[in-house]
Structure 1
């Protein structure tokens, strides 16, 4: 009688894999209870760097489908977004964030720092006649005017309000010096000596007198601790003027460094302005916000191209010539493309007639330019205190 075949023992079932965070049995690459991934976060540095690029900048193949229409097709990306074709392009906020940070980082590396006069100057302070004061004043104003002209149409244009404020400070200091010299002449006494202590301070006045932390401090309607804080900030900014005189690039870095933060605040405000301008279009605020993000992303991209053209011109045509002329034409065309692009974008997205579009474009542009100037000045003042 044959023996029955010997059966191999049944294999032991594999232990059930459980989430290391909450202990629930796993059914896939992520825990369905707490959401923790099965793969640990202790991975090679290259993988983590890729995660940062993907989560923060979302840099993948979509960037190559996004940048060309962003630059060359006004309103195209916005209309694609409204039509529901969104996943094929970089999202509006990530596009704006990446281009803005990159553009003004490149601007800090490539632009030279101008020397800005924030108050009194040696020539005006040492002048002993009215004619000498006027000569020194006119020379400083001409220098600032030349500097302002060179900023127009570039990323450094955000510093124009600071240049204008410096010019106004020069006029005020010159007027004070002229008044002091005329009073001395009328009294028959020698011209007053230059105020050497004021050369590295802000030209701040309170109660028609020069600000002084002890003798003439700010005294507002705010509580005492707030006034003390304000006076401390004015003193700190005043002391930082000495650093700015020794390191002019610090002013450029403060101005350009303030722009991204300023734009992050102003983009929602610009979207609100669009909402008011196109109130009867009955569009959601988020739609106007997408328009604002795409328009600011384009401006950052265009400024980045202008900076790159300037770098190429300095590298390939440092001595001028036909190649330098070509680069100058390209830069001019890029600058001219900015207002034309924004006008075409507004027309195509909101689909109104040309007269109404042009009117709203002019009003929005003027109001936003004024708002941007004040915002940049405020950011520069904060940066001057915080540096």
Structure 2
């Protein structure tokens, strides 16, 4: 009787494995591991399997996104409790949201507007000192307006670049004023714009302007290292001048580099959590799960913020109620970021509020400094790669 009952619970074989001939009891052969489904099937089914393998796109996405946004620490605690299969895995969740967020950022944000000199209306073409000052002030105002629009969006990674652009504007204006004053002192007409002038990188090596050929950067590195650095500087110099005609190239290159930068920062942030909660005796992998979930939330919040900003720009200011409502949602999404991370840290680690607040501010300060260096690195990579 028991044998009959036991045999009835065993699934009936579904044929034999085409690789080793073992009777099949599921979607994979338990002897050799070969899947029942091969590549010889409709393209639509194959495409669905690829999406599932790479992004884990199934019903778990809908069970994961809501708690990720609205329940700080919930997914991490569920993961530690062993309830894992019902949600998208932390790495896939972060990977998917990072790729989607910064792809949308490239589509919805504008690049900085660089207009330093060399164009018909640029500073280098001005013929009087007052005209130089007028064009300089206009360029600085334009850059300041661009910086203001970047605040609170992923394009904020380019603010440092805008400040570099402001310094370049001032240097170009000073250079042109000296040219005009020198010509006036000699009784000569205003000099023509310097077509061969360096409107890109302006720094000196051994007291002379840097030049990849005549005055290259010479460091403690071997000769091939110096050649590589000078090559990157030369390429960056060419790209800075190219920004005057293609203002979105730098923005696209930086935003393309940001996801890779975040992938490097996540394990570093997990190590910072490990050190901050050393006496909690948690494994490093637990802190890594928390880091992945927190960064996935930041990407999701940024994605929603981008969509709200795009919708707000499409709605005329005259539509007062809707425009104002979108503005409130934008502010709420910005405020929710630090509040969420604080609540997540409190709920996951379970310490009292004084220690949680102390560690939150210490971790936040250290990570902000680290993120600043990462942003500069992303800008440097973007400037070379654009």
User: What TM-score range do you get, normalising by the shorter chain?
Assistant: 0.7 to 0.9
- Whether 1:344 and 2:343 are equivalent positions in the alignment is yes
Aligned mates of 1:282, 1:185 — CA distance in 2 = 75
Aligned mates of 1:176, 1:364 — CA distance in 2 = 44
1:261 equivalent in structure 2:
260
2:296 equivalent in structure 1:
297
Aligned mates of 2:123, 2:207 — CA distance in 1 = 20
2:320 equivalent in structure 1:
321
Q: Which moved more, 1:177-186 or 1:162-171?
A: 177-186
Alignment match of 1:109 (pick from 84, 107, 110): 107
Aligned mates of 2:17, 2:311 — CA distance in 1 = 58
C-alpha deviation, 1:51, in angstroms: 1.2
1:26 equivalent in structure 2:
22
Distance change >3 Å, CA 59–CA 368, structure 1 → 2: same
Cα contact 2:298–2:337 (8 A) shared by 1: yes
- Whether 1:70 and 2:68 are equivalent positions in the alignment is yes
Which ranges of structure 2 fall in alignment gaps of 5 or more residues? 1-14
Which ranges of structure 1 fall in alignment gaps of 5 or more residues? 1-15
Cα contact 1:118–1:203 (8 A) shared by 2: no
Q: Which moved more, 1:114-123 or 1:209-218?
A: 114-123
Cα contact 1:119–1:166 (8 A) shared by 2: no
Aligned mates of 1:18, 1:327 — CA distance in 2 = 57
- Whether 1:83 and 2:84 are equivalent positions in the alignment is no
CA distances 1:99-144 after superposition (whole Å, capped 9, x unpaired): 1111111111122233146888874434567665555444333322
Cα contact 2:118–2:195 (8 A) shared by 1: no
C-alpha deviation, 1:186, in angstroms: 8.5
Cα contact 2:108–2:310 (8 A) shared by 1: yes
Aligned mates of 1:174, 1:350 — CA distance in 2 = 55
Cα contact 2:76–2:348 (8 A) shared by 1: yes
Aligned mates of 1:273, 1:119 — CA distance in 2 = 45
2:6 equivalent in structure 1:
none
TM-score, length of structure 1 as denominator length: 0.84
Secondary structure of 1:97's counterpart equals helix
Number of residue pairs aligned between Structure 1 and Structure 2: 369
Counterparts of 1:44-193 in structure 2, within 5 Å, are: 44-116=42-114, 123-126=122-125, 133-175=132-174
2:246 equivalent in structure 1:
247
Aligned mates of 1:340, 1:119 — CA distance in 2 = 45
TM-score, length of structure 2 as denominator length: 0.84
Cα contact 2:118–2:193 (8 A) shared by 1: no
Q: How much is the aligned-residue C-alpha RMSD, in angstroms?
A: 2.9
2:375 equivalent in structure 1:
376
- Whether 1:43 and 2:7 are equivalent positions in the alignment is no
Cα contact 2:29–2:36 (8 A) shared by 1: yes
Aligned mates of 2:216, 2:117 — CA distance in 1 = 18
